[in-house]
Amino acid sequence: MADGGGARPSLVPAQQNKRGILDLLESDRVRKGLAAVAGKHMNPERMTRLIINAINRTPDLLKCDPRTVLGATMTTTALALEPNTPQQLAWLLPYKTRRKVGDNEWEDYYECQFQIGAQGWKELMYRSPGITRVNAGAIYEHDRFVFKDAADIVFEYEPNYLVDDPGRIVAGYAYAKLETERGVDLIPTVVPWKEIEKIRSRSETYRALLRGIDNARNPDQRQKAERKLAETPWVMWEDQMVEKSCTKRLRKKVPITPQIAAAAAIDDGADVGQIDFSQMTDPDLVRAVASGEAEAPLIEHGEDQPMNNDIGAEQQREPAPAQQQATTSREPKPSARRADTPPAEDAMPDLPADDDTGSLFSE
Does the pLDDT value for residue 351 go beyond 50?
A: no
Residue 1 lies in a domain: no
Check residues 9 and 72 and name the one with the higher pLDDT.
72
Residue 360 lies in a domain: no
Check residues 98 and 71 and name the one with the higher pLDDT.
71
* pLDDT mean over 303-324: 40
For the stretch 204-248, pLDDT in tens is 778 888 888 999 999 999 999 899 888 888 888 899 999 999 999
Residue 157 lies in a domain: yes
Q: What is the pLDDT of residue 272?
A: 74
Residue 321 lies in a domain: yes
Please give the full DSSP string across 283-319, using - where no structure is assigned.
HHHHHHHHTTSSPPPB--GGGEEPPPTT--GGGSSSP
Counting the structural domains of the chain, the total is 1
123 φψ region: left (φ > 0), alpha (ψ -120 to 50), beta (else): alpha
Q: What is the pLDDT of residue 19?
A: 54
Q: What is the pLDDT of residue 275?
A: 87
Residue 5 lies in a domain: no
Tell me which long-range contacts 84-87 makes (C-beta under 8 A, separation of at least 24).
84/50, 84/53, 84/54, 84/57, 84/58, 85/50, 86/322, 87/119
Q: What is the pLDDT of residue 358?
A: 60
Sequence-separated (6 or more) residues with CB below 8 Å from residue 94: 58, 60, 61, 63, 64, 110, 111, 112, 314, 315
For the stretch 165-219, pLDDT in tens is 999 999 999 999 999 888 888 899 999 999 999 999 888 778 888 888 999 999 9
* pLDDT mean over 339-358: 35
For residues 178 and 131, the answer to whether their CB atoms sit within 8 Å is yes
Domain span at residue 193 reads 14-347
Residue 9 lies in a domain: no
The residue among 118, 121, 154, 163 whose CA lies nearest residue 137 is 118
Q: pLDDT band for position 299 (50/70/90)?
A: confident
What percent of the chain is modeled with pLDDT above 90? 39
Residue 214 lies in a domain: yes
130 φψ region: left (φ > 0), alpha (ψ -120 to 50), beta (else): left
Q: What is the pLDDT of residue 123?
A: 94
Q: pLDDT band for position 342 (50/70/90)?
A: very low
What percent of the chain is modeled with pLDDT above 70? 76
Residue 60 lies in a domain: yes
* pLDDT mean over 144-155: 76
Q: What is the pLDDT of residue 106?
A: 80
